[in-house]
């Protein structure tokens, strides 16, 4: 109930009025039945604007910590994720990926839409990064089509680290559904899962026009963070001996 109130009464109408979204290819999302909505990830606002533009409910998963914050801020964050249909996943014990996969499979087997960011985290610089194979495993286990979608300018509207978005027209593009029935029964084959994932990422690259980088986004973030940390001061070189 909160999801539909936010989408059609409380939040959605104001966002449509202020940001005037332009959406291409929305009819590529099936009107009924299971489908995986696979998106690039440029900004926190992706999880607001993209589901708002889909007529059906899109279910994402997120770490359980988003639902357990303290104080007013914690409550607001929790209400946002509950209101947008996000399902909490306990990451304890290093089983986050499997827990998220199991949760999304239940969503798909109920004939609903499951949302996923194949990159696993937001892009640090707007480029498209290597996809994780969870999206392929989800497609192969469920048999659901994958609908690629790209946020074309979300990083301009709300750059990483910025809380208040800029008022600018939102642009979203949906691609045609991708069918991987030819790989039926091949879930668990890492070469097949990598091939399927790369095919999805290629489509996202084509739709977005963004540069593709064949490393994981989290690795790029870690490298950038390490480069910002100053190392220990280098000791002065000893004086050079001068020949007598």
pLDDT digits (tens, 9 = 90+) for 145-154: 999 999 999 9
Q: Answer whether residue 113 is part of any domain.
A: yes
pLDDT at 241 over 90: no
Whether residue 240 is contained in a domain is answered as no
Q: How far is CA 21 from CA 45, 77, 140, 162, 235, in A?
A: 13, 24, 32, 20, 56
Residue 135 counted as domain residue: yes
Least confident span in 16-20, 28-32, 90-94, 200-204: 90-94
Range 104-131 average pLDDT: 94
Residue-wise pLDDT tens digits, 55-87: 999 998 877 777 888 888 788 778 777 777 788
Mean of the per-residue pLDDT values of the chain: 87
Residues with Cβ < 8 Å from 211, sequence gap 6 or more?
Answer: 127, 128
pLDDT of the residue at 1: 65
The DSSP secondary structure of 176-228, one letter per residue, reads --B--GGGTT-TT-HHHHHHHHHHHHHHHHHHH-PPEESS-HHHHHHHHHHHH
Helix (H/G/I), strand (E/B), else coil: 172: strand
Mean pLDDT computed over 35-52:
92
> What is the per-residue pLDDT across 194-223, written as a single tens digit (0 to 9) for each?
999 999 999 999 999 999 999 999 899 999
Pairing of strands 87-89, 61-63: parallel
| CB-based contacts of 117, cutoff 8 Å, min separation 6 | 38, 39, 40, 41, 46
DSSP H or E run through 63: strand 61-63
Asked if the structure places residue 237 within a domain, the reply is no
Q: Is residue 244 part of a domain?
A: no
Total count of residues recorded for the chain: 244
* pLDDT at site 231: 56
Considering its fold, how many domains does the chain have in total?
A: 1
Which residues are paired to 164 by β-bridges?
none
Instruction: Quote the pLDDT of residue 3.
Output: 73
Tokens 């109408």 identify what position? Answer: 13
If one compares 93 and 7, the residue with the highest pLDDT of the two is 7
Is 241 part of any domain? Answer: no
Residue 211: give its domain's CATH number. 3.40.1130.10
CA distance 59 to 29: 14
Does any domain span residue 45?
Answer: yes
**Checking DSSP bridges between strand 58-59 and strand 113-116, what pairing results, if any?**
parallel
Domain that holds residue 167: 2-222
pLDDT bin (cut points 50, 70, 90) of residue 9 is: confident
Q: Helices 134-142 and 96-109, interaxial angle, to 10°? A: 30
């Amino acid at each position: 109930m909160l999801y539909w109130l936010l989408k059609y009464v409380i939040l959605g109408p104001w966002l449509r009025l202020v940001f005037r979204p332009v959406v291409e290819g929305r009819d590529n999302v099936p009107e009924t039945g299971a489908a995986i909505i696979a998106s690039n990830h440029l900004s926190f606002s992706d999880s607001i604007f993209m589901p708002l533009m889909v007529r059906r409910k899109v279910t994402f998963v997120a770490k359980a910590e988003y639902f357990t914050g303290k104080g007013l801020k914690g409550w607001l964050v929790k209400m946002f994720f509950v209101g947008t249909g996000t399902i909490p996943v306990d990451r304890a014990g290093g089983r986050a990926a499997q827990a998220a996969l199991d949760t999304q499979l239940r969503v798909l087997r109920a004939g609903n839409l499951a949302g996923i960011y194949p990159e696993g985290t937001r892009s640090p610089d707007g480029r498209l990064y290597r996809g994780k194979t969870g999206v392929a495993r989800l497609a192969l286990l469920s048999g659901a089509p994958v609908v690629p979608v790209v946020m074309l300018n979300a990083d301009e509207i709300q750059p990483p680290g910025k809380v208040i978005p800029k008022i600018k027209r939102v642009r979203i593009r949906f691609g045609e559904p991708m069918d991987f029935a030819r790989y039926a029964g091949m879930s668990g084959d890492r070469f097949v899962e990598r091939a399927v994932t790369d095919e999805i990422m290629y489509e996202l690259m084509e739709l977005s026009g963004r540069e593709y980088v064949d490393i994981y986004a989290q690795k790029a973030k870690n490298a950038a963070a390490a480069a910002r940390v100053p190392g220990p001061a280098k000791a002065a070189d000893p004086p050079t001996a001068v020949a007598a």
